[in-house]
Amino acid sequence: MKDKKEKRDCMFQYAFARGVNPIIEDTGLITRSEADALAEKYRDHLIAHWDDFFAPQMVIWVDCISTTDYHTAALEIDFRDCELKNGNFYRIKRDRIF
């Protein structure tokens, strides 16, 4: 039985919205396993830089057909609309007020 080859249809991005050297990692097309491994690799770094000065962002894009096809975000952690509690990230729900 042949192993199914994993598709290279994901991209991983980790960057700071502010600060010096904002791009930490920005891949071309990779497998989902590789993208998940990069997210895990940078988890502690993301936690350590979780502040307004850096304003970090981490995304895994999936179902991409090229390096310019940001199809669907499977993982999206953004300092502007997430919070960090006890080592876990949570999306902040926002309701329209105006």
Structural domain spans, the chain: 11-91
- So what's the pLDDT on residue 2? 53
Look up residue 84 and give its two tokens: 């960090």
pTM for this model (two decimals): 0.86
- So what's the pLDDT on residue 53? 92
d(CA 44, CA 19): 18
d(CA 22, CA 62): 22
DSSP lists the bridge partners of residue 9 as none
Contact 76, 59 (CB under 8 A): yes
d(CA 98, CA 88): 30
- So what's the pLDDT on residue 63? 95
List per-block mean pLDDT (blocks of 10 residues) for the chain, which spans 98 residues.
79 90 94 98 97 95 94 92 95 84
